[in-house]
Structure 1
Amino acid sequence: MKKVILGASIILLVVVLVNLHFDSGTNNFSSNSNLYASVNDVSGVLWTDVESSSIVQVGDRVIVPDYYRTVSLNMSELRNILNQAPLESIVKAKNSSVILSLPLPDGSFGRFKIVESPVMAPELAAQFPEIKTYCGQGIDDGTANVRLDLTPQGFHASVLSVNGRFFIDPYSKNDVTNYISYYSKDLSVDPNEFVCQVENTPDNSKNNNLLLDNPSSIGDQLRTYRLALACTGEYAAYHGGTVPTALAAMTTSINRVNQVYENDLSVRMVLVANNSLLVYTNSSTDPYTNNNGSTMLSQNQSNIDAVIGSANYDIGHVFSTGGGGIAGLGVVCVSGQKARGVTGLPAPVGDPFDIDYVAHEMGHQFAGNHTQNNTNCNANPSTAFEPGSASTIMGYAGVCAPNLQNHSDPYFHVGSLIEIDGFTTGFGGTCPVNTATGNNAPTVTLPSSGFTIPIGTPFMLTGSATDPDSDPLTYCWEEYDVGPQGNPNSPSGTAPIFRSFNPTTSPSRMFPKKSDILNNTTTLGERLPTYTRLLKFRLTARDNRAGGGGHGYDLMFFTADASAGPFLVTSPNTAVVWEEGHSEMVTWDVANTNNAPVSCANVNILLSTDGGDTFPITLASNTPNDGSESITVPNNLTATARVKVESVGNIFFDLSNANFTIQMASSISNLNSGVPERFGLAQNYPNPFNPETKINFDIPSKSAVTLKIYDIRGVLINTLVNSEVLSPGFYSASFNAASLPSGVYYYRLEAGSFVETKKMLLIK
């Protein structure tokens, strides 16, 4: 059973702004045009949430995520809006006045500035005017960009964002009214086995400089390549059996591939003018062996050269429903080789096909090698930067156990960026048309390299970046090591031990990831060094500019040394209770980190009150790294405290293993009045009180005693006595509520089998 996420019943979601201005006096938008759709304007209703059970299925459902939102689309209204989108050659997306809101899977909406962005040559677009493509830049989320298409197959949208990638696709085949909105992470595992082969083409002497580390030119120019894209009769049959429907599906795929290539590489592919000649609808007469990728390599090269002409395209590829994937390495712009690219799946549709496979195979054609470090999975040792199956586009996510995840994330590893950047600015830059984007690449700055950390100890890397255009940046820290292939749980030598994760808005990354440190768990592909070795990392900054993104990267390196570590917090390391104002000891295992080669003389001791998410409170600054420090507990009451001991002048640290409690100070005293006959709990005095009161209780026999304070909701406020073994006697405990609001509170005494609760009133 699929979970359907629903939002409001009917919501206005499109705004087209012409000559729009903001009236600061009234805090309202106003417009000199009647194109602004108001809430009461029925023509402005674009999206309507609908129950999945109410949709009449008109065709096969080929994309069925685990979780999704179902909406209906006012197609005529959408066409009215998109018809007003300017061409991106006239207006850049970030400057467009056409604003389209899209339904997110979580029930909310996101707004985008939209321009028309053709992926078909003008002659082909004129032949198929019903196929249109667009791109857009996020308004509510500046890191988001979108690719849209409107074809005979319906509407499609793909959004790349630091908050997750999501799609809008038709609910089923032949349904242009109902749609699903879903995150890529909610797609189930593709059951099809996919094998990718890389053909090392005989003349790649032109590509010897693929690891050029010069990203300065990436982003200011959009490199547009002429793509000759063929399909087999079987592929066309899957998509409706006609040239328009097959070409529509091919356009949707290339539009989505372009989104990633433009964002990461400032590369675009445009279908050639007579591409319809390569759309075959009869599997009996087409020039391809649908289920044999290797055979189709040479077939595609010969066919495209014959039909299109070698001088009339820059890269060629063929889609099928079988045969897996295979492509020549670095063949773009190379006559006689540039059409050697094949992608085939039984279900050639959606994100798994477009990103896991098409973007991957075309990545080979642009000189990108495999990045996975698993054994027996077509790894390329010199570029095996990612542990296990890898998770980025040029890896084998989901098809090379042990798998880090089921599908590829929609971005290239920095190793792939360096390879493809080197190619597209070298020989692979001899055939595209370059267009100035008006964009400038960000510049990354990193700390000095060459220091040493202890083994088995978490660390944090932090860099910075500046963008000349003030674009919101995303950051991605990635290991840049290659070494012996093997299981990621048992690395050796300089093998990669940290996987890549999706870019974020933070220039810092914790190794291993924060959730594993806090929960004392492990993630496949995240492993602290356990022996002496060199570690290299790169930070990539992306500006995510629609229509041609820029990126910058830099490298840092350091050594993990087995003569030191693990550096560990030893106290507090369990669910203890601290009282505000009291002195407590923080202890840690120095583990030889105070001596060479780590040579960490001092540490900082920090406190978190939110379970380790942030550490804003300093308990001790620049104190000697000697393993212990007496601190005064601050008056930051919490049940989710953690302590962090971090190196000064280095990157390593450790966190306490469990949340502990900081509560208000209390005092308990034995009144020395003899021994009571029975257990008892007295009413607090005074009551009502402000802010202090006393609670007396009687213990007739030696017992483990607990006395706790709760608010009216039953939330624990303070523990005055915590399972303390008390001798027989009359006792009094003090409770100070200076930091609490007025209200009813409860106190509860537990002593052996005796349990009693009473109420008290705080009035301020």
Structure 2
Amino acid sequence: MKTKLRLVLAFPLLFFCFSLWSQDRGELWDEIAGTMDVPVLGIRDAQGYLLRTADLSRTLESLQGQSTRMITVSFPVGEGSIKTFQVEEYSIMHPDLQARYPQIRSYRGFAIDDPQGRQIRFSLSPQGFQGMLLSASGSGDVFIEQHPDRPGNYILFSRKDRDDPIAWKCETEGATASAKTGTDNPSARLVDDGQLRTYRLAVTTTGEYTEYHGGTVPDALAAINASMTRINAIFERDMALRMELIPETDQIIFTDPGTDPFGGNLSSEAQTTLSANIGASAYDIGHLFHRAGATGNAGGIGTVCVDSQKGGAFSATPNPEGDRFDVDFVAHEMGHQFGANHTWSFQSEGTEVQAEPASGTTIMGYAGITQQNDVADFSDDYFHYYSILQMSSYVTGLSCGTTMNLTNLPPVITSQPDYIIPQGTAFVLEGTASDPDGTDVLTYTWEQIDNGVVTQASFGPENPIGASFRSLPPTTDNARYFPSLERIRSGNLTQQNPGSGSAWETVATIERDLNFALTVRDNAFGGGQVTSDLVRVGVRAAAGPFEMTSQSTSQTFQAGSVQNISWDVAGTSDAPINCQELELWLSTNGGLSFDILIDDALPNIGSATIQLPGTPTNQGRFMLKAKNNIFLAVNAANFTITQQDFVLQANRLTAEVCQPDNGAFAINYQRFGSFTEVVSLSMSGLPAGVNANFSPSSVQANDTDVLLTLTGTGGASPGNYDLVLTGTGGGSEFNLPLSIQLLGGTSTAPVLASPTDGAQDVGLRPNLQWIDNPDITSYTVELAADSGFLTLIAQETLAGNSYQVPELQPETEYFWRVSGTDACGAVPFSQEFRFTTAQVSCKTITATGLPIDISPVGTPTVESRITVPDNGTVADIKVSLDIEHSFLSDLIIKLQSPSGTVVTLVSNSCGSAADLVAVFDNSAAPFVCGSNPAISGMVRPLGSFNAFAGESSQGEWILTIDDTLPADGGQLNSFELELCVEGEFRPDADGDGVFDDGDDLCLGTPAGAEVDAFGCEVFRFASNQFQVEIATESCVGQADGSVAISASSPLNYQATLTGNGINRQENFTQEFTFGNLPAGDYELCIDGNDGTNNFEPSCFQVTISGPEPLGVVAQTLADGSGVALALSGAAAYTVRLNGNTQTLDSRTALLQFEQGMNVLEVEAIPSCAGSFRQEYFYSNKPEIAPNPFVDRLEFFLPWPAEVFTLEIFNAAGSLVFSKELQAIENRGETEVPVLPSGLYVVRVSNQGNTATYKLFRQ
């Protein structure tokens, strides 16, 4: 290289928490006690180990050239643990290259008898050991690095132990056509063809890179081998793909920064260098390793095997080694080379795979480098579903590379249905998969795959696009809670403005679809297989949030006791969710897991009575989960279940019996603690003729099943009976309340209630209701388009006595009926009812006051409002917009209904394209970004207008445009709302908002004219119709102020002046003056008429002020010889000093005193504004008075100092009084003690000035 920026790195010292060595923990590794920080690598709290490198090298020598041989080697795996691995050599070099550099090796292995399925990839060279532990635990992979300053010392850490993200940017631009498979395709395939693909890799280096690693070709090759050992581990696990260094690698490693062929255009120079030095036929994928500022470029998307592009990739960091360089840079850029786009979403790339919120966290994300948009400080070392999908699609179409058949078979996933859930509600997705190989450890990732721009600012429960949940690393747990269980149990279901390292998970509180991919990796040793399944979760705004309302505070219950629980059904039992039954689960660890199933078929009716299990806990929590659905709720507080000696656990608390059948309960006996006594069973509360039979009648062994049979029911009267099951033994007693419901025969047909038979103008989403019968355990409702019920619109089995119908067609006749089931069998159908739905009427309303500018300064928000007078039920809407704005992606555009519901139309969409001219309609196709305008035609909003359905149309509809970035502006040119409501709009031919069949007394008012409550046009004066002049009072209390009115044109005016005790009314034609007004506040209102039309009053608030009072600030000069005046309150002043008068029209004056007493007088002109009088004594020597004196003396001092000393001497010269005094404006005074009458000498002194006086004491 000819010109390069040289980096000087200061390597901080390694700080050990402790320096003592532990006892030997294996043949090769000694743990260093405590933890260590390695600032140069940005690692904190790492575990330290001393590796006997020479011993490890000798151990591994037996594997050289033995491709099928394995030996056992021990490695640290974290938390102070060392495990034994089966290890084999796994060279990533071509055999010819490996033969030339036998001391540079690569290995792989797997842990023996490890439930986490750990594997290890490591390299060894004279430069040391470098390893990577791959785990299925979900906690992330672990890295082993040599400490940079202490050879032989190694640190064990995960990526979460880092604390210094590097600001870098991937410069890869442009994209091939995305390989994204649509979420409507349930058979999306990833890596399941049983092939291990190998590609020839050409890694070239800059002189800086080689110099960093030691300066020689072997040094650089050892570093390349270490990096590619790790990178291959990731690609083999996620893609069944590996790369092999070509034989010519040592020919393209450059050692001198001054002579290497690389300058400022690394991408093109790398391509040219490889072509010139080894030729295109020598490699499949090329990459330049460089040491410089953090950056990278793949040279394109999908460049492997493309001769003109395959060598144009580079990666560079200040420290080009270790997991950060390997994962965040090289693996990222190689992901591009194999066809993967970025998966982050903080700005638009238009690739349709931007499905990680903000920066993202997977390899193709930008974790740690997007400031406020960072989800985490570092990426995780796995590929997102979309990345695997894109790369898999790309490599299966390549003709280069070699393949090898794997014996490994792909996992098999049990496909799941799509779900509909309520808004604002947590949910869980559980995957089911198996592996034909049996020994593979399967890992699961549930990732949201919705494409769309999502920033920290737009992330939240009302965001209609993109990902609401971050990607999390693969784990052996097949279930993922949304959000995490930790946030669910703490009630934090939503999140806004998340920061780096926070959850980045939020449920949706709006109507939208969430699409998820389940990716299952088999983590097979030697090359993984990866399969997937897609699930759509539809969030519906009309239902939810589904919440538990009971056990919201800490409570204590006895084990086995019967308790009530309650929840907010929130529309979840109605269509389209139709959840009729719930599962109730118990957690005994505060909600970390829910392992005890209490009931799997609770009717979803809002409350239930349940029996607690016998398990004691002080951290109990309930989870209610929809049966055959995914949504759930957890109660708000832990509760305590206290231990009992024994518990009788019943399979149900109520038995419905059709007489004369027997009733039965299945009972399970559980004992706890040291209780071992025999327990006898009995039943009380039985109706006459009914008997209770226990089998067995007494129990002792734990977990004994008992059958309780109730016989003779035919002899009892039908009805409900409360029973008590009692167990007694060893001085302990347990009582369990049960009940039996005896039915004498099948229940009568249900009675329908609403809509009534023959009802007209029924809404399009009616709620069908019938009278509840407690004997009926379930109802079946049928809705049909014909009286014979041959064309069913809906048929649902329900626990409750109502059914929310999905949207129906307008002006259509429908028929409905209800049947049921009770303990005696099928209940007959009710009488059929018919009803007819209302018509739907539409009209278009155009916003006024447009266009509105969108300022380029700052981040403004503009609004346009449309007021709808009609109180109809919204059936549908369309919104027409014309917006000019450069960079449409700066804008978030929303519509708010009068009820406060908000739907997002556009959110940071379409990148740098400008302008929008479109009609938004729910039934249209999603918008596709164009060039100019960016969005046009009939398009679907990002949010759903279904959220407005069923709301009132009356009130203000508010269009809001948020400009989220400065510098680009534009304007809203037009906004139209096409509103469709159930029923007819009331007539309003002139469009004035006052209905013709109601209060409109003035039909036919001009379009756009302002009208009053009776529809009559309101006439207003122009804003400049009147000029009002105000004259103030000349003197306080003079009452000579005035208000003069001048109209711009003659008319019949009437002016009314009120306030300050005045109420005057005068008629005039053009000019008029209200005179003789005192100072004060008034309201002036002027109305008028032109002989035909009356004009609304124009009112003004006027204030008549009085004259400003005279203000005089008289400041005595420092030497006391005069005074400086500052005057206010008048235009002119009369100033009189010692009888000498002058008139001033200025506000300042300087006056000189005469010797002795001076009298200053000031009057305002006119004099009613006030006057001022002040006396001043001036002398050029100190003066003392009075003489003679009694008990007080006053002084005038011409000296500048404020402090002086007073001394009094008697005739004999003795000091009789002394005091330090304060002079203010050259004056001072003091009291003196009672002295005998006679002559005294008084001396005043200050800073060298002295004056002596003779005074007589009376």
Give the counterpart of 1:186 among 142, 147, 161: 161
Q: Is the 8 A contact 1:381 1:483 kept in 2?
A: no
- Which residue pairs with 1:466 in the alignment? 434
Counterparts of 2:582 and 2:360, CA distance in 1: 35
Aligned partner letter, 1:456 = G
What is the root-mean-square deviation of aligned Cα atoms in Å?
A: 2.8
Q: Is the 8 A contact 2:44 2:163 kept in 1?
A: yes
Q: Does 1:149 align with 2:90?
A: no
Aligned partner letter, 1:481 = D
Alpha carbons of 1:208 and 1:641: their partners in 2 closer, same or farther (altered >3 Å)? closer
* TM-score for both structures, normalised by structure 1: 0.76
Deviation at 1:572, TM superposition (A): 0.6
Give the counterpart of 2:634 among 655, 658, 663: 655
- Which residue pairs with 2:416 in the alignment? 447
Q: Does 1:172 align with 2:148?
A: yes
Give the counterpart of 1:259 among 225, 233, 237: 233
Q: Does 1:391 align with 2:361?
A: yes
Give the counterpart of 1:115 among 82, 88, 94: 88
Aligned partner letter, 1:154 = G
Q: Is the 8 A contact 2:367 2:374 kept in 1?
A: yes
Counterparts of 1:458 and 1:534, CA distance in 2: 15
Q: Is the 8 A contact 1:5 1:105 kept in 2?
A: no
Q: Does 1:69 align with 2:47?
A: yes
SS at structure 2 position matched to 1:546? coil
- Which residue pairs with 1:696 in the alignment? none
- Which residue pairs with 2:1206 in the alignment? none
Q: Does 1:331 align with 2:303?
A: yes
Alpha carbons of 1:107 and 1:658: their partners in 2 closer, same or farther (altered >3 Å)? same
Counterparts of 2:503 and 2:39, CA distance in 1: 33
* 1:713-728 → structure 2 map (5 Å cutoff): none
Q: Does 1:489 align with 2:459?
A: yes
Alpha carbons of 1:544 and 1:365: their partners in 2 closer, same or farther (altered >3 Å)? same
Q: Is the 8 A contact 1:5 1:70 kept in 2?
A: no
Counterparts of 2:219 and 2:191, CA distance in 1: 38
- Which residue pairs with 2:1068 in the alignment? none
Aligned partner letter, 1:395 = G
Aligned partner letter, 1:383 = V
SS at structure 1 position matched to 2:584? strand
- Which residue pairs with 2:318 in the alignment? 346
Deviation at 1:557, TM superposition (A): 1.1
Q: Is the 8 A contact 2:284 2:310 kept in 1?
A: yes
Q: Does 1:47 align with 2:29?
A: yes
- Which residue pairs with 1:319 in the alignment? 289
Cα deviations across residues 25-72 of structure 1 (Å, max 9, x unaligned)?
xxxxxxxxxxxxxxxxxxxx211223589x9x9xx9743521122221
Bigger fraction of residues in strand:
2
Aligned partner letter, 1:166 = V
Aligned partner letter, 1:340 = G
Counterparts of 1:502 and 1:2, CA distance in 2: 31
Runs (5+) with no aligned partner, structure 1: 14-44, 667-688, 693-735, 740-764
Deviation at 1:493, TM superposition (A): 2.5
Q: Is the 8 A contact 2:441 2:524 kept in 1?
A: no
- Which residue pairs with 1:132 in the alignment? 105
Deviation at 1:101, TM superposition (A): 1.3
Deviation at 1:616, TM superposition (A): 3.1
Aligned partner letter, 1:426 = G
- Which residue pairs with 2:444 in the alignment? 475
SS at structure 1 position matched to 2:352? helix
SS at structure 2 position matched to 1:578? strand
Counterparts of 2:578 and 2:394, CA distance in 1: 43
Structure with the greater alpha carbon radius of gyration: 2
Deviation at 1:214, TM superposition (A): 5.4
Give the counterpart of 1:608 among 587, 593, 600: 587
* 1:218-617 → structure 2 map (5 Å cutoff): 218=192, 220-289=194-263, 292=264, 295-322=265-292, 324-327=295-298, 328-375=300-347, 379-400=349-370, 401-427=372-398, 430-449=399-418, 451-470=419-438, 471-487=440-456, 489-490=459-460, 492-521=463-492, 523-617=502-596
Cα deviations across residues 343-378 of structure 1 (Å, max 9, x unaligned)?
111111211111011100110010100001113xx7
Counterparts of 2:18 and 2:195, CA distance in 1: 40
Counterparts of 2:281 and 2:643, CA distance in 1: 80
Deviation at 1:603, TM superposition (A): 1.2
**Identity score, percent:** 36
Counterparts of 1:220 and 1:187, CA distance in 2: 36
Aligned partner letter, 1:660 = F
Cα deviations across residues 567-618 of structure 1 (Å, max 9, x unaligned)?
0011112212223344321111111111111111111222211212332333
Alpha carbons of 1:664 and 1:103: their partners in 2 closer, same or farther (altered >3 Å)? closer
* TM-score for both structures, normalised by structure 2: 0.47
Q: Is the 8 A contact 2:91 2:106 kept in 1?
A: yes
Counterparts of 1:102 and 1:404, CA distance in 2: 32
Q: Is the 8 A contact 1:220 1:440 kept in 2?
A: yes
Q: Is the 8 A contact 2:554 2:637 kept in 1?
A: yes
Counterparts of 1:7 and 1:267, CA distance in 2: 43
Q: Does 1:80 align with 2:58?
A: yes
Cα deviations across residues 680-727 of structure 1 (Å, max 9, x unaligned)?
xxxxxxxxx9999xxxxxxxxxxxxxxxxxxxxxxxxxxxxxxxxxxx
Q: Is the 8 A contact 2:146 2:152 kept in 1?
A: yes
SS at structure 2 position matched to 1:530? coil
Aligned partner letter, 2:394 = F
Counterparts of 2:221 and 2:100, CA distance in 1: 11
Runs (5+) with no aligned partner, structure 2: 1-13, 496-501, 646-673, 678-729, 734-1258
Deviation at 1:496, TM superposition (A): 1.1
Deviation at 1:209, TM superposition (A): 4.8
The alignment of Structure 1 onto Structure 2 pairs a total of residues equal to 619
Deviation at 1:332, TM superposition (A): 0.3
SS at structure 1 position matched to 2:172? strand
Deviation at 1:198, TM superposition (A): 1.7
Moved more, 1-10 or 269-278: 1-10
Bigger fraction of residues in helix:
1
Counterparts of 1:455 and 1:98, CA distance in 2: 56
Counterparts of 1:258 and 1:690, CA distance in 2: 60
Aligned partner letter, 2:635 = S
Counterparts of 2:33 and 2:80, CA distance in 1: 13
Q: Is the 8 A contact 1:388 1:402 kept in 2?
A: yes
Deviation at 1:247, TM superposition (A): 1.5
Aligned partner letter, 1:370 = H
Deviation at 1:296, TM superposition (A): 0.6
Counterparts of 2:455 and 2:57, CA distance in 1: 53
Aligned partner letter, 2:367 = A
Q: Is the 8 A contact 1:5 1:69 kept in 2?
A: no
SS at structure 2 position matched to 1:422? helix
Q: Is the 8 A contact 1:87 1:115 kept in 2?
A: no
Cα deviations across residues 181-234 of structure 1 (Å, max 9, x unaligned)?
2222212223x3100122337xx5xx6656496537546221111111111111
Moved more, 569-578 or 606-615: 606-615
Q: Is the 8 A contact 1:218 1:265 kept in 2?
A: no
Aligned partner letter, 1:468 = P
